[in-house]
Amino acid sequence: MDSAYTEISTALQDYFDGFYQSDVATLKRIFHPNAHLYSAADGPLVDDDMGAVYARVEARTAPASLGQPRMDRILSIDRSGPESALAKVQLAIGDRFYTDYLTMLRVDGAWRIISKTWTYVPLGDAKAQAAE
C-alpha cells in the first residue's frame, strides 16, 4: 500500500467521525471550504454549499448519541495523480445508508474533499442486503 492511500484513508476518518458525531469542527478538517455536495436521490438536483451542510449537521441528533452502530467503510480509492483522487465510501446516518463519491484534492499538504455526490437507500434495505 502506498503512502498516498494511507494518507487519504487516514483523512477520511475525519469524514466518518464528523458525520457520526455530528461534529462540524471535525468535518471542516476534511472538507475544503469551497466544496459542494450534489444529489438527485429525492428528485430534483440538490447542490449544497458547506454552510448548508454544516447547518444540517448541527441541527440533527448525532448517530453516536443515539448509539447507532457504525457502518462506515471505504469501498475504493482511485488516484489519478499525486494531487487528486476519488474515494467511494459508505456510512449510515439515522434511517439512511449512504454511498458517497468524494472527489479529493491534496491542497497545502492535506487531502480535502472538494465535491461529494451522494445517494442513499433505507437503512433496513442495506441491512437486509448485508444479511443475504
Per-residue pLDDT of the chain (132 residues; tens, 9 = 90+): 578 899 999 999 999 999 999 999 999 999 999 999 999 999 999 999 999 999 999 999 999 999 999 999 999 999 988 999 999 999 999 999 999 999 999 999 999 999 999 999 999 887 666 655
> 55: burial class by Cβ within 10 Å (0-12, 13-18, 19+)?
exposed
Residues whose CB is less than 8 angstroms from the CB of residue 100 and which lie 6 or more positions away in sequence, other chains included: 88, 89, 90, 91, 116, 117, 118
Decide if 57 contacts 19 (C-beta within 8 A).
yes
Which pLDDT does position 68 carry in this prediction? 95
Report pLDDT for 126. Answer: 77
Residue 95 is placed in which grid cell?
Answer: 434511517
Provide the whole-model pTM.
Answer: 0.93
What is residue 1's predicted lDDT score, i.e. its pLDDT? 53
Which architecture, in CATH terms, is 3-131? Answer: Roll (3.10)
* Domain residue extents for the chain: 3-131
Distances, alpha carbon 72 to alpha carbons 40, 90, 91, 113, 120, in Å:
22, 5, 4, 17, 13
Task: Write the CA distances from 50 to 20, 30, 35, 76, integer angstroms.
Answer: 17, 12, 6, 24
